[in-house]
Amino acid sequence: MIATKLAGKLNEQIGHEFDAHQQYVAIATYYDAQTMPRMAALFFNQALEERGHAMMLVQYLLDRDETVKIPALSAPKSSWKNIVDPVKAALEQEKEVSKQFDDLTALARKENDYSTEQFLQWFLKEQVEEVATMSDLLAVVSRSEDNIERIEDWVAREVSAEEDDPTAPPQAGA
């Protein structure tokens, strides 16, 4: 059994992951409207990844015989003043998600729930990668704000499709 407080926080995290999914879809559609197909594809893929993270949490709660509560989602931001701001928002979101997983891991340790702590280790590793990717992307987009083709070329060259991670937790419904 997962401690009540920890189970509640894991359910909250499901909502954060679905919020991130929605935000990345909004960012992707913004870049698609700016005729930046590679940036759009990058964020559509990020959206799918965030949805996958939510479904991993769902499956974990199901596997631990806990009640899954899907929280309501807030409306994502969908307009920005320039092409840099969505990436800034994405980086801040990834930093916040990293903090959320740090806090969840600390709570699991405090509750002596070593299974949940082990489960959360994968997310900690994943967040390091996510923050690094968004940091690099922000540097490129900031530096090349007036040269969309340079941004698109960098994304095409440097951002590869996510390969399946055999260490990733299973997703509900997969």
The tens digit of pLDDT for each residue in 9-47 reads 999 999 999 999 999 999 999 999 999 999 999 999 999
- Describe the crossing of helices 85-110 and 37-63 by its angle, rounded to 10 degrees: 20
Instruction: Please write the tens of the pLDDT for every residue from 76-116.
Output: 999 999 999 999 999 999 999 999 999 999 999 999 999 99
Question: At residue 159, does pLDDT exceed 90?
Answer: no
The distance in angstroms from the start CA to the end CA of the chain is 24
The whole-model pTM stands at 0.94
Residue 52 near residue 164 (C-beta atoms within 8 A): no
In a domain, 19, yes or no: yes
At 65 the pLDDT is: 96
What pLDDT shows up at residue 173?
85
45 falls within a domain: yes
Residue 168 is assigned to a structural domain of this protein: no
Judged against a pLDDT cut of 90, whether residue 161 lies above it is answered with no
Whole-angstrom distance, CA of residue 135 vs CA of residue 127 = 12
Show the domain range for 88.
4-158
Give domain status of residue 164, yes or no: no
Number of domains in the chain: 1
